[in-house]
Amino acid sequence: MRAPRSTRLAAVLVTAALALTACGTDGADDATTGDTDPAANPADGDDEAGDPTAHDDGAATDADGADAGDAAGDDAAASFPVEIEHAFGSTEITEEPARVVTWGWGSTEAAIAVGVYPVAMTEQVWTVGEGGQLPWIEEAVEDAGEESPTLLTDDFTAPPYEEIIAQEPDLIVAAYSGITEEQYELLSEIAPTVAYPEGPWATPWRDVIDITARALGREEAGQQVLADIDAFFSEQAEAHPEFAGQTVANVWDGDGQMSVYTSLDPRAAMLTELGFEIAPAVDELDTDTTETNFYYDLSYEQLDRLESDVVVSYHSTPDEADAFLTKADVQAIPAVAEGNVAQVVGNEYVSSVSPPTALSVYWGMPDLIESLSAALD
């Protein structure tokens, strides 16, 4: 028989404390497995952030998605029990969860899109600062008249177990996160926990939606969310025939080296749904043989070899974006020299498409699409 809840939770805190003590002697290694914002600039040291982006239009679409999710709620209870396989085994969810906690990136939006409003979610300090709420989540919650999720502290090493326990969850979804197996085991002592299917920070954004929806007993609603997103991309591709067959390279300037996003990175891959092709030079210049490599660093001396019809560059601030366009070294990139550059500026916009989520895709993509069209004009 399983131990009483209070006993199990006390054991979690003791075990977590011992684990954190051990981390103190091995911090450099543990830092690579912690959670962080997947949109953050790789040049700033967020290598573990894997794969690791007009608001009025987005808000309307999000509301439609939430309505579809609410309609699916009536059938959700009949879907249980549900079993989700993942990197650490499988998790059985015996009944419809009432208090859901999300950890990592994207699962909060996926849950809201199918009509479930989490009680707590990871804070996204890189994107909106401490105590800030992601704008597309804030808009969706306000439109639905729901309470905002409690923000869980992210110290980039381990989930905040005590804060999670305080939420009394009956399900924890971490489908796109960096939790370790030990952290998964601790979280599972609090509530059934769904981890990523293969590796940390490597779950495709479509799979995040699918996994989250299935864990909530709303698989059909999740499929509708994905169908709506597919329709959005198809409509945009049809509206912009100039995108068809154009090659693109996605970059972040690291001041001395350029981070280039590979075809494995969702912010690059999703542009192919608009008709673009990843520039052949992107793969040709990649010397990293890691199968899950989502970006690599290219020296300024090789920038002239990064040939593409258009470049998409990502920047935290307008000043950084302006400096990119005028920097002499960067002018070696053929598309930059020709003025064929679309820029994503501001951490919120970068995060909304890096990778996109069930809600943020409508929040950030319209501006990027407009910039891409202008770059090819």
Question: In tens digits, what is the pLDDT along the chain, a chain of 377 residues?
Answer: 445 554 555 555 555 555 544 544 443 334 344 445 555 655 454 433 333 333 333 333 444 444 555 556 567 788 899 999 999 999 999 999 999 999 999 999 999 999 999 999 999 988 887 778 899 999 999 999 999 999 999 999 999 999 999 999 999 999 999 999 999 999 999 999 999 999 898 889 999 999 999 999 999 999 999 999 999 999 999 999 999 999 999 999 998 899 999 988 888 989 999 999 999 999 999 998 777 688 999 999 999 999 999 999 999 999 999 999 999 999 999 999 999 999 999 999 999 998 899 999 999 999 999 999 999 98
CA 151 to the chain's CA centroid: 17
Residue 87's pLDDT is what?
Answer: 97
The partner residues of 252 in beta bridges, in order of sequence, read 259
- Domain 55-232 sits in CATH at 3.40.50.1980
Please state, as a whole number, how many other Cβ atoms lie within 10 Å of the Cβ of residue 55: 14
Same CATH fold assignment for domains 55-232 and 240-375 = yes
- Residue from 162, 161, 173, 158 nearest 34 by CA: 158
Q: CA angle 353-36-359, nearest 5°?
A: 30
- N- to C-terminal Cα separation, the chain: 68
CATH class of the domain defined by 240-375: alpha beta
Per-domain residue ranges of the chain: 55-232, 240-375
302, two tokens:
């090789």
